[in-house]
Structure 1
Amino acid sequence: MEARRSEKPRQDDTGPEAPGFKPVPLARWLWRAYLRSALFPILAIEIGFLATYWIGTLITYRTNIGVIRPAAEDDFARMAQREALAIDSRLASISELASLFAEQATRALAQPYEPAAGEMQRYAFSPERGYATQSSDADGAAAAFYASTTPLSAEQLETVKRSSQLDPLMRSIKQTDPLIAKLYLTTRDSYTRIFPYSESVQSFSPKADLTRSPYYLAADAERNPSHRAVWTAIHVDPATDRWMMSSVAPLYRGNTLIGVVGIDIAVDALVQQVLDLHLPWNAYGVLLNRDGTVLAMPRAGEQAWGFGEADVLEHVDPRDGDADRPEQLNIHQRADTRGLAAAMASGGSGRLDNLRLGGELLHSTWAPIEGADWTLLLLASEDTIVEQAARLNHRLIVAGFGMVLATIVVFVVFTTWLGRRARALGRELGGALSRISQALIAIGRGQRLQAGHLRFDIRDLDRMGEQIVRVGEQLAETNEALVQAQHRLELALMEEQRLTASQRRFISAISHEFRNPLSIIDSTAQSLARRADRMSAESIAERSEELRTAVRRLSEVIDSASVFMSFEQQRNSSEMPECNLDELLQGVRHRLLRQHVDRTRDLRLDPAVIGTSVRCDQAMLRVIVSVLVDNALRHSAAGTEVRIRAEAAGRRLTISVSDRGPGMSEEMVSRALLRPLEHKGDTSGAGLRLARVFAEMYDGKLEIESKLGAGTEVRVVLPLNGATGTAEKEGA
């Protein structure tokens, strides 16, 4: 054991005291390290990496086939929903415009209106053509027509005049969306007004019953009980020979349908929006109507569907109805799309895989266009979706061969480059270590390093530099934290001193409030003790009531002390509980009326406080209001009104108590507002001074307006803690 203790510690053979130890320059040490631990391991790693890359490429290709397809299908479904929603949103905005048009038209027909002199000169009546406009004007007024089945009287002329004030509105609505072709108003007595102006009104049959028109019937109460804007079926406008769809909204006066307004849109513009869709995977969109008939399809789908026209609407004359539509235009009648039709029959959005059209396997997804009751169907080739994964695999293979070639080139030049890089790194690392050494010296001297002072291109050195800067920051922050902690301790001490002084002042302040009730109790008790046998029952009852009043006064003073203590504990709270001001003031009123039973009809609460909620110290507020109301009742005669008012505005709460008592002189007001509560001598105005002290403790103030012989109004203005509630003010 002793021999072992006498042995010298074994030294590392590579340490600075080892035999033959000789330090080498950093650049040479790096060169040797590269040769020993970098060149051959990196070569082995590269070979393993390339092998792993080729195997991973094969696995990735097979995995992508299983991953890309469902991801693409989900994206495809979202595309259909997005495009359908875009069309549906556009139709919904037009429906909202139709509802606005209906609302304004109802108002216009109910209000007398005298148009410009030239407006009524545009109309002419003839038995053959009815009452219709003959020309437009410089501002582009609307066209109008009155069927001769309605006798032209002053009432009908008034309808024409009133409807003319809708021309600017119709012009504005027409300009909001290029999809809008025209707007019209039709009343129940076969009067119609159309914008923009059209000569077609002159060709209307003079005996036409416009209330039997499909668009008018679509808006009546039987077909549209909700009285909202609805869309009609696709129809051909006889004036323009174009496909149209109308958003119609009823006009009601009470429960009576008095007319219909409508907005016509050009269907071919919506169809063109579908034809112009730009979709990935060479996909294309097909527009279907409510019965599954194809309305539009781009040229990309012609071969698969067996069509020769780009726009399927050109296959059919819409004026001939559906009788001449070929079977291949309806997915329910085609053999190769019946499965698709069955899947779409459930309604809503959906998708179907493995749909074969024209010998091609397709993926399909669809979404409804609610406003027009159409369906947007998107189709894409399965081969096209998978082809992207194949292209990706081909690119990965090409990249693999490039990596092999790059590896060979890199290792040819790598050895040559190592020597030069070792020397450069030696200089760079030497400079970095020198900067780190200087930074440590600066920190030791108490200097504070700026962020980014030690930044290096080498990650480990850069991390070390950040840590050194962070240590310097932490040392500085620790010093600042110590200073702040000292400051907080000083503030806490000041707050404790303030609380102690406040409690001392409050105890001194309310001491005299105990003396008066105690003096009354003492004197009354002595009087009862000496003369109880000689006093009448009325006198004893009167003295007992004086004792009860004095006891209640003591209870209020004790409550005030309790409120003060709880207020001192809560005044630093970030937010006080919410208080229903109406309930609080009603409670004060009922409690004081039990003490002043003869003043039940005198004490009034302003109804403006109903529904008002504020955040405040409820107990403190209850004491202040009780003191003010009790003071007003005691200093005013029975039969005179005492009113309580409250108003919460912004972050301030104002409560006022007014009476019609004898009032106060300016000297009495000054004593109540300025004299300390614990002032000895004259005790008049002590209740107001107590309320003032509580208000000032609440960071508020007391205001008094009084005039001898005219009464007194006392207002207490208090700050609110937190946001005030909204008062629901009702009339008296």
Structure 2
Amino acid sequence: MTTPESPSPLISLKQWLSRTYIWGGALSLSIVAALLLLILLGTYYLLAQNHDRMARKEHEQQMIQALQARTNWVSAQLESVQGNLQLYRKQAERVFSEQRSAIAAKRPLDRSQDNLFSLSPQNVLYKSGSDGIAVYYSSLASDLNKRSTYAAQLLPLEAIMVDLQQSNALVQQIYLNTPDGLNLIYPFVDVVQQFAPDMDLTSFSFYYLADASHNPLRKNVWTDAYLDPAGQGWIISHIGPVYNGDRLEGVVGVDLTIKGMINTIFASPQQWPGYGALIGKNGNILALPPEGEEDFGLQELTEHQYSFQQVDTNQFKPSQFNLYKRKDLTDLSRLIAHQQAGLAQVKLKEPSVVAWNTVPATGWKLLAIAPEHELYVHVTAFEAQLFDMALLAAVLMMMVLLIYVSWQYTRNSRLSRQFQAPLDYFQDVIKQQGQGLLDRPLSSNVLEIQQTAELIHNLAQQKQALEQQVQNQQKEQESQNKYFRNLLNSIPMPVFDTDVEFRLQGCNRAFEAFLGMTEAELKGHLITEFIPLTPPEDGTYQHELVLSNASGQSRHINVLVTRQLELSKDRKSELAMIGLMIDLSDQYQVRDQIVFDRDRAMEASQLQSEYLQAIRHELEEPLGTLHQLVLQLLNNPSNTSALVRQVKEKTDILISIAKDHWPESSDNYMTDQPVAISQNLQDEKSSSVGRILVVDDGPVNTMLARSVLQKVGYEVDVAFSGKEALSMMRNKRYHVVLMDIFMPAMDGIETTQLWRAQERQQNIRPAVIIALTANVLESERQRFFDAGMDEYLAKPYHPSELRDRVDFWYRKQLSQTN
């Protein structure tokens, strides 16, 4: 099923022309311009991407070539240092060889140069003066007396040490260390002030890395950066062992300071836009210029403030200087560690390009680091130029579009003026209901417009005629609705009608009064909310229900509804449902009253019959005896006095029985003496006589119950309604109450509830209440007990049964009281 489309919003003629001509043409032109612009931008983009890829590759290749040239230069510088050390090492081996030969030949020691040395207060042997090489001989030497002789034998090395240090700018100082604690160093150092008197030279890396355990091949090796005990700050040493046979005579070395390496290697302008760094074999950053400190989050260690504190142990750079241990540079360090050369893009402080190459002389890695925006500056400039060209093309297209829109707007205004005047004329004529159309000629030479004007004139006339017909029909409809409404309201029975969905559409006043709601409040509600009925599919339907009206009263209602179905050509349509409610409560009440009176009459008749039958049994013996005495008196006149006396005794017995059963009726013919005697007897026993109240609206029932109970000595009162019983309760206390259930106005259930409530209010001992009823269903018996009754006695009952139940409860009352 398709949903109807919502109508489009109305627009003016000028707006329609604008959309059709201006914006429609502008849209077409914009689409064409956008396609051309997309093609142009796509071409620019592909060109920029291709140029970017080629330019980046070219700049990266230039960077690698520049790094390779710098690597070769650094390798050459370090190879010259290695050559100087090798020359110095050979010279030291010859000096030690000569020294050992002299000792082996047992030539006398030359002590002519002993005056060049002095002893410090800490027993350190040192060379006097402040120029040339410095000599330090530790107080830990094995032969303290021969220290000056041994030191003097090595002084010939001073010339080569001076020459080598001054010939190479990278070499900061040159030295010789022996396992016995002798140190020769150039340039001069105040060793007494700088070195500890008992310093163990063999414990430093610049010595033990060259011994047999660390360097079994006896090659020259490079140390990591460490803090120099001689006061030069952070340095790197190139060391070599000096052997005489298998005896390690000493270790020679040259020191390169970190600061000197930075100034020498990285001072000259780089061939790439950035800086360089030098990484050792184990990943330690050996030299880092100031430009890289911020990128790596480090401050390069070059100088050290000794503050007269002697360095007596190895001090290496902290772990953050080890590139291979930095978690933030894991990818870069992995590449550098496993590749001799390469290039990678990494994120330092900013996106950067890092190229590296291995220095052949040492195995170190030389890094070239350049920010991307500086390395690819020409690439970015070209992209900016392409962007400017694309922006210029877009601006030109926008200008062409604006010119087109302006031209179309002018054209649209002219067309709008040509069409708007006739339309305004038509609108004014329609507003005036066609009046004035002939008096105002339309100044237009367009045939269609003139035909439209005539059509509007005809439509206006037809409209006036239709409006008059509609007004007449509305008046007639209002009159019929008013008549129909008055007719419905005059019907005393509730009437309603619904729509096809069984929702209330209207009702009369009787229906409003029955439900206690107005027609406006009821309208729109389902009829089943108020009347539980099943609407018929077709035809008429009636059903008797018990409904509660607005006052809460239950009424017997006969609901009569009718519903019809009409078949059309294309589909089946349903008519509204009309309903009528007939109140049958009065008929039900009359019927119930008739049934109630019949049941009570039958109950009284049966009870009276049983009671008379009981009296008959009591009178049979005395009447039979009296009959025999009368026969004897007739047959034997001689014994008249004795028979008369016996007849009188039997007659008194009959009178006594009659008085017991009908005390009121016997007052006319009974003697006064027995009544007086009975009254006196009652007064004497009034304190112990049981007080019984019979509550029944049937006079026969009350008479029989009172007769039976008075005969056995109870004091019996009678109430013919529940209200009378409650009034008697306020003036007298009763032991047992015989309560009839079905009584008018106030039944036995309600009377019992009010009786119990007054007992609780007055705080008195409750009386025993026995229900008298012909209805002994289980559900009804439970109602008696819930109301406060103690027992029930089904009608009709035998007098002896009544006496037994009253005696039982009276004795129980007396026993509880005692």
The reply to whether TM is greater than 0.5 is no
TM-score by structure 1 length?
Answer: 0.40
| Bigger CA radius of gyration | 2
